[in-house]
Amino acid sequence: MTTIAKPDVRGFYDEPSGSIGYVVSDPDTGRAVIIDPMLDYDEKAARISTATADLMLAYVTDRNFKVDWIFDTHPHADHLSAAAYLKEKIGAPTAIGEKIVEVQKIWRDIYNELDFPCDGAQWDKLFADGATFSIGNLPTRVMLTAGHTKASITYVIGDAAFVNDTLFQPDTGSARCDFPGGNAETQYDSIMSILALPPETRLFTGHDYRQGGRPAQWQSTVAEQRAASIHFKNRPSRDDYVRLRLARDKTLPLPRLILHALQFNLRGGRLPPPESNGRSYLRIPVNYF
């Protein structure tokens, strides 16, 4: 019988956005990856700071981990990615799913940035659906799990799947699909593929909104989701799910930072190029939403 490799997983919770970034490490070799690291952003001052990313950095340096990769699961709409910041600090390559180029095209048009390069070159590696590789001794597989965005991918590392904004904790259900390029049908298929993983698979989500005021949580299993997810325990059909998802999405306000975040995150976690005075500016399309 083969035993499934079990990475050590440490989550870093960002209270303002309810996001979770992860350091995933191989206990045998000390090789590690960072998933969905975030920067801090003071909206009133338009000031970026790095306290949360620096906690992740200290965690890996204190343990002498060798970081092989910095992964984004998708372009986030509610916080700024620290991928480029951490790459500068530790030199590890960055990666995201190859469908990112489609999301770049959608937002290039929304921002009217016609010379924005939509080729994914802002990352070192673009993963195709089904890509496999190892992190130390941990077998790793990429699953395209689109729906929340066209580019969302899940990294399955040993017995742990980093499902980002597909499934949240069972008491919270699934992620919204109403941002440009989102699709509830695709989301249903993606979640079905996650729920088809072995029942003991640990699932690590991308957000937690502390349902009912409970402490933040970010870990479940496939078995727990199948038994208790408020959106999936009753085995909805695709049509049932889509109806429920679309109705729910109509009630949700946009994330506070969506227009700030996408133009930064679609550059791999970088500001737009500086203007003639040496300063970078964010663009806000008025009355788009």
- 198-228 as b/e: b if 16+ CB within 10 A: eeebbbbbbbbeeeeeeebbbebbbebbeee
Interaction between residue 208 and Fe ion (CB under 5 A): no
Closer CB to Fe ion, 158 or 181, in the complex: 181
Q: Write out the E strands in the chain.
A: 8-14, 19-25, 31-35, 40-42, 47-49, 66-71, 94-97, 125-127, 132-135, 138-144, 153-157, 160-164, 202-205, 219-221
How many positions of this chain bind Fe ion (CB under 5 A)?
2
Query: Which is closer to Fe ion, CB of 76 or CB of 202?
Result: 76
CB of 6 to Fe ion, least distance (A): 27
Binding mask 142-181 for Fe ion (x = CB under 5 A): -----------------------x----------------
Closest approach, Cβ 269 to Fe ion, in A, equals 14
Distance from C-alpha of 177 to C-alpha of 243, rounded to nearest angstrom: 12
Dihedral (CA of 184, 39, 98, 73) sign: negative
| Shortest Cβ 168–Fe ion spacing (Å) | 11
Q: Which is nearer to Fe ion, 53 or 261 (CB)?
A: 261
For the chain, how far is it from start to end, CA to CA, in angstroms?
54
Check residue 98 for interaction with Fe ion (CB under 5 A). Answer: no
In the complex with Fe ion, the residue whose CB is nearer, 135 or 143, is 143
Q: Provide the minimum distance between the beta carbon of 107 and Fe ion in the complex, in angstroms, as a whole number.
A: 14
CB nearest Fe ion: which residue?
A: 165
What is the smallest separation between the CB atom of 76 and Fe ion, expressed in angstroms? 5
Which residue lies nearer to Fe ion by CB, 5 or 175?
Answer: 175
- Which amino acid, 73? T
Query: Among residues 25 and 104, whose Cβ is nearest to Fe ion?
Result: 104
Radius of gyration, alpha carbons of the chain: 18
Cβ 240 vs Cβ 185: under 8 Å = no
Task: Name residue 239's amino acid.
Answer: D
Site for Fe ion in 115-144 (CB under 5 A): none
Report if residue 14 touches Fe ion, rule: CB under 5 A. no
Instruction: Output the CA torsion sign for 251, 255, 260, 265.
Output: negative
**Residue ranges in 63-82 that form contacts with Fe ion under rule CB under 5 A:** 76
Site residues, Fe ion (CB under 5 A): 76, 165
